[in-house]
Structure formats: C-alpha cells, structure tokens
Structure 1
Amino acid sequence: MLQPKPLFNPQADTSYGKRRLIGGETSNLMMLSNNKYGWSYPLYKTMMQNFWIPEEISLGQDKMQYETLETAERETFDKVISFLVFLDSLQTVNLPNINDYVTLPEVNLLLNIQTYQEALHSQSYGYVLESIVGPEQQQRIYDIAVKDPFLLKRNRYIADCYQEFIDRQSEVGFVKVMMANYILEGIYFYAGFSFFYNLARFGKMTGVGTEIKYINRDELTHLALFQNMFRELRKEQPELFTPALEAELREMMKVALDYESEWAAYAIGDRIQGLNIALIEQYLRYISNYRLEAIGLTPLYPEVDQDPLPFIRQFTNFNQTKTDFFEEKVINYAKAGSDLDLDGLDELDL
C-alpha cells in the first residue's frame, strides 16, 4: 500500500537514485534547478505561460446565436457543456488525491498547476452559461450531469475509477487512477470539444469556440504531464506493468470508448450538420490509438489510421499564430520575451 508523503521530512534521502514518482523519499522542497525529470521544468514554464482569462473573450454574439441554433444543436450544446463542467469539476477535486502520493516535488508542482487550470475551465463554462442563458436555465444545464440517465452512467464510470484509488491506495491502483485521468483528459474532453469546433466551422458560437480552444491548449499540457508520468513510472517500477495490468488498462480504454459512443448516439446522433455517429465513433477510436501508443500500450483499433474529423486540426494547431476564429485579432496570453511557448510541446513528444 502507498502512504501519503509527510508534509516535511528533513531526513529524506533526496539523492538522484532515491527520487521516484511514487514510494520515494521527499523533503517536499521545490529544487527546480535540480529536477530528476528533464521534461518537468520546460513543461512547467509552458503551463505557466498558458495564462488566459475567460472574460476577455466576448460572447455577446454567441448570446444572440444561441437562440437561433437548430433545436438539436441547442439541446446538444446544453448536454455537452454540462458534461464538460462535470469533468473539470471532478478533476479539480480529485487531482489532489493523486498528488498526495507523488513523491517528486517537480511533479507535485505540475499537478497543482493542472488543478488550478481545471478550476479556471469551470469558471470559463460558468462564464459561457451566464453570458447566453438566464439563471434558471443555467441550473437546468448544470443538473443534466447528475439527472440525465445517459450522462450519469458515463460520469459514474470515471468517478468510480477515481473512488477506487481513494478507497485503496496501492501502487497498481495508482497506475489505474492515472489511466482513468488520462482517459478523461485525452478522450472525454476531446469528444466534447469536437462538437464546439464543429459549430465554429459553420460560423456558429465562435466565441465559445475560442474559449474551448484555450481550454484545449491547457489540456494538451495535461496530456503531456500524464504521458511522461506513465513513462517514468515504467522506468522506475517496470514490475508493475504486467501483461495482466496492461490488459486491464486497455480494457479501461475500451469501456470508456463504448460509453462515449453510446453517449454520442444519444446526445448528438445524426442530427447535427457536419457530424454523425459513425464519424464520432471513428474519431474516438483514432485518438484512442494515439493515446495508448503514447504510454506504451497496443492500440485497440489499429485499422483506424485516418482522421475522420480533420477540420479539428485548424482549431488545435497551436504552433501557428493564435487568433480568434474568423478574425485577425491575435490573442496570445503567453508572456512576451519568454524562451518557451506552445511550440515547445512538440519537444515533449505529446
């Protein structure tokens, strides 16, 4: 069983060979000029430079457009944003449960930044709802996450995965809770984002699309963090990654994809211009292959090797000048003169 790290342990052996992601000794001193993982400080700087404020994005036009959306688009909008609120809320609360057992201060720091960013995303969704609908409808949309049977079913799956580690903190459990987090960040968020990007490409709710783009930019760094955590844990404790555990991790991904496909059929169906169930299912399988390969696992659907929703790339290509959708106004919250911007994500092997 893992034990929570002490708040301060001046007797800790923090020599290079004793530092580990979990189960190591730590004084909790942030020795940022002497990190064990070479990727951690560049990622820290990138995450810190991803500073943005939701309210600086105008949603006045979106408020008017929301009322003119097709009925199916408006219903799906409400369901998807409720789901995203749940995901970020769960992350904000649960990441500290993971962080309590991480014994490398530089990773503790990154997880703390991620927690802050998840809270910021919740603020962003709140700003979206406050901008386009009244108080009663806001509450109705929030309640979808816990009252809609389809959404409740998929929300319970990921929440139960997190709860399992809270109830029993083992090393294998830590790997599984990392996988659950990875699925949430790399599959569930992206499925939700795709709907808003699809609206934006038809000129609808483009302010909301811009909000999603900046949330997506943060999520890229969260993916980079957990991918690298997986890789380091494999190096430090390869005995954990037995064929049985790897099969269980792949099964977790498959179950999550099944839930996501079921949800997509219910929430989106074949009623939305530019999307349909088949495209969404193929997209989920396509990105799941990349997610699994990135952490050393065999893809579930190797036959799916073409991106069925290539338009998403125009909204998520952060290595080009960052602008509002359909506008020439540059929005770049990174600090001027910094020596690392979002281009640095390429070097992190995301």
Structure 2
Amino acid sequence: MSSLTQKPLFNPTADTSYEKRMLIGGETTNLMMLSNNKYKWSYPLYKTMMQNFWIPEEISLGQDKMHYERLEHDERETFNKVISFLVFLDSLQTVNLPNINDYVTLPEVNLLLNIQTYQEALHSQSYGYILESIVGAEKQQEIYDIAIKDPFLLKRNKYIADCYQEFIDHQTEEGFAKVMMANYILEGIYFYAGFSFFYNLARFGKMTGVGTEIKYINRDELTHLALFQNMFRELKKERPHIFTKALEEELREMMRQAVEHEVEWGAYAVGDRIQGLSASLIDQYIRYLSNFRLDAIGLDPLYPEITEDPLPFIKQFTNFNQTKTDFFEEKVINYAKGGSDLDLDGLDDLDL
C-alpha cells in the first residue's frame, strides 16, 4: 500500500503546474488561487455552499414546544433518540473532516471541506437550538447522553468512529479512498432514517418548525454528497491503480454494512410504532437510497430489484436550490440566496 504524508503548511517552492496538482500526493503552496482551479466543478460548488448560508434561529420553534408535549409516548421517545444520534453524526464530522483535509493537496478542495466543517458545526448548533426550545436543561443533557448510554446507539456510534480512526492511525492511498467512502456513507445513508421520521411528523402537522430545520440541514448534506462524489471521480482518474476489483468490492461491502446498520436503527428507533412509518418502509427506503449513492460514484448497486421510492411524500419537503413555497408555513423560501451555475450532476436523483 502507498503511504500518504501530511502536506506542509506552506511550501513556496512547490511545483503547481497542472500535472502536479492532485487530490492527494500532489504539490501545493496552499495558496487559494481560486481563479485557477484544476477541478472545474469546485468553484460552482463553493458558490452554492456559500449561497446556502442560514442560521438556526431564523426558524421559529414557538409552536414546537407545545407539539412536543402533545406527542405520543413512542413519538417522543423516537424523537429523543433520533436527535441524539444526529448530534453525534454532525459532531463527529466537525472533528474528523480536518483529519482528511490534512492530506488533500488541492486548495480548492481544502476550501470546500472547510465550509463543510463549518456547516456540520452549524447543524449541531441547530439541534441544540431545537432542544433548548422544547425541553429544559436537565432533559437536554439526558437526550445528549443517549448517544453514549443507549447500548444499541453506543455500539453503532463506535463502529462509525472506528472507521474514521483507521485512517487516522494508518494513512495510505487505499485508506483515503475508504475514509472518503465512510464519509460518503455517513452523509448519504446514516442521516436518513432520522430525516424520514421528522418529515413524517411534519406531514401530520407535528413539530413543523423542526421539519423546516431539517430541510435546511438536508440541503447542506446534499452539497456534501456532491463534494465527495466529485472527489471520488477525481481520485479514480488520478490513482486508477488503487481501485482494484478487491477495493471496489470492499467499498460496496462498507455500503452494505451501512445499510444493514441503518435498517436495524430504523427498526429499533422507529419500528412499527409511528403513524405513517414502519420498519419495512424504512428498510426499503434506505436500500433504495443506497442504489443512487453507489451509482453516483461508479459502483454497482447492491439492491437492483428496488426501483420504486417507498416514501414518496418526502419529495414534498425537498427540491432544493430553487424558489418554492414552504410546505408548512405557506411562505416563499429561496433555498439558494443567489443564482448558481452549478450542475449538481444528477443531485435531483439523490433527493430523500
């Protein structure tokens, strides 16, 4: 396996000619020469991510405290578990993305990963704002602690963290491909049983402010997917020798394991106790999504027999980066605050 070396902070003698500029293992001064990017998709994606600026407090949660108190017992328990898990995911991303960025030798990608890191922190702030708005301090801490005290969730969270820790401990080119896959899985699979739960509540008129928060978070996550999809494509071009049949099967197996984990989580946290959802629907939905995720990075889908979206109502809550009417509040929301020439390369197919 080819080892990777962390790039220097500043290298004024770096050869930044076109052929020396690469995702990993290239030469870089670390100067942000954004008018001369190698990857033509990077600046449009940068503009889209910057146009998506928002803050959690701009969404009113005044009614959600009353909604929370009126939830059925099972709905409230699921709400607490899902929030705790989502806090863990975004917290882990905030801490881990710099570990990947240290080995990326293209400044335009460094910049995008930095924006993603900021957005992951913003998402954690959003979940904190949700909890502060609906429950007291003691209950907030109890919900945060679910991520480390619930045996099922602790086991799952340790598995995710271990995937990231492997690259921290052993930096290789193949390991970089695998840690990219782990990030892609987290962004593209691990959030979605939880997202579907919140959207499902909202379509029945419950926790509608939280539903809007989730829409904003969801929009950010799709740009993160676009980032890692394009990183995968570039790495395949620049390091084709590492994408052996064995590695590609290992990446598909990582997705298979992720799907099984998310399906198990859906059965545990949501099950058949929530109006409008079931463990079977979540199972089919996660497998359906995984097919899009694999196809987008040039890998064969795991579940080709699943071709129909089992949760079509979710599309009422998405369709991002365009002006539309908010599903709950009947007001116009412009999800992108300015025009963008970015072609998200089939991102509509990656809608929830």
TM range (shorter): over 0.9
TM-score by length of structure 2 reads 0.96
Distance 1:55 1:19 in 2: 40
- 8 Å CA contact 1:209, 1:325 repeated in 2: no
Distance 1:282 1:347 in 2: 21
Query: 1:221 maps to what in 2?
Result: 223
- 8 Å CA contact 1:47, 1:221 repeated in 2: yes
Distance 1:326 1:346 in 2: 29
- 8 Å CA contact 1:25, 1:103 repeated in 2: yes
**SS of residue paired to 1:311:** helix
Query: 1:339 maps to what in 2?
Result: 339
Percent of aligned positions that are identical: 84
Change over 3 Å in CA distance of 1:225–1:132 after alignment to 2: same
CA RMSD of aligned residues (A): 1.4
Alignment of 1:1-350 (within 5 A): 1-332=3-334, 334-335=336-337, 338-340=338-340, 344-345=343-344
Deviation for aligned residue 1:151: 0.8
Distance 1:87 1:119 in 2: 10
Output one character per residue of 1:264-307: Cα deviation in whole Å (capped at 9) or x when no partner: 11111100011101100000000000000111111110001110
Deviation for aligned residue 1:344: 4.5
Runs of 4+ in 1 over 4 A off after TM superposition: 346-350
Change over 3 Å in CA distance of 1:43–1:319 after alignment to 2: closer
Change over 3 Å in CA distance of 1:11–1:320 after alignment to 2: closer
Deviation for aligned residue 1:339: 3.5
Distance 2:336 2:280 in 1: 38
Change over 3 Å in CA distance of 1:309–1:179 after alignment to 2: same
**SS of residue paired to 2:281:** helix
Task: Work out the number of aligned pairs and report it.
Answer: 347
Distance 2:216 2:15 in 1: 40
Deviation for aligned residue 1:348: 6.8
Deviation for aligned residue 1:159: 0.6
**SS of residue paired to 1:13:** coil
**SS of residue paired to 1:331:** strand
- 8 Å CA contact 1:293, 1:299 repeated in 2: yes
Distance 1:188 1:124 in 2: 18
Q: Which amino acid aligns with 2:339?
A: D
Deviation for aligned residue 1:6: 0.4
Deviation for aligned residue 1:347: 7.0
- 8 Å CA contact 2:222, 2:347 repeated in 1: no
Output one character per residue of 1:71-91: Cα deviation in whole Å (capped at 9) or x when no partner: 111000000010000000000
Q: Which amino acid aligns with 1:214?
A: Y
Deviation for aligned residue 1:257: 1.2
